[in-house]
Structure 1
Amino acid sequence: MALFFRDLLLLAVFVIGLTAFMGIISHWFSLKLFGGRSVLKFVDRTKSFQSSWRNVKRRDL
């Protein structure tokens, strides 16, 4: 009976762990499959726009 509960616990840990990492695994897989080298293209373009922005000064009333 103890072996049954041990197997049940191992199965539960495996299912919960797989469910927890499923989002990470699918995100990595989609980046590798569809992203290619253009993953950071939009991030780099946004940084190039924001590099010339001035900081907003706070006014005290």
Structure 2
Amino acid sequence: MASRVLSLRIDADLLDRLRDHAAKCGTSVQDYVVRTLVRDDFDERFKTAVDETERFYAAPPG
């Protein structure tokens, strides 16, 4: 997988909170943020798949 650079400007308080969360997980801020984004992306894709499956198996109206 190719790697790209994403630069963010964030509030100092948010960065401090991210550092705290990353430290609790024993990881870097960069790895923590990437892992969070990947998890969120997976959750969205999973929800979409569930919704589509429910629509597919739904009883026809009437």
TM-score (norm 1): 0.40
Q: RCO greater where, 1 or 2, for CA within 8 Å and sep 6 or more? A: 2
TM-score (norm 2): 0.40
The structure that has the greater radius of gyration is: 1
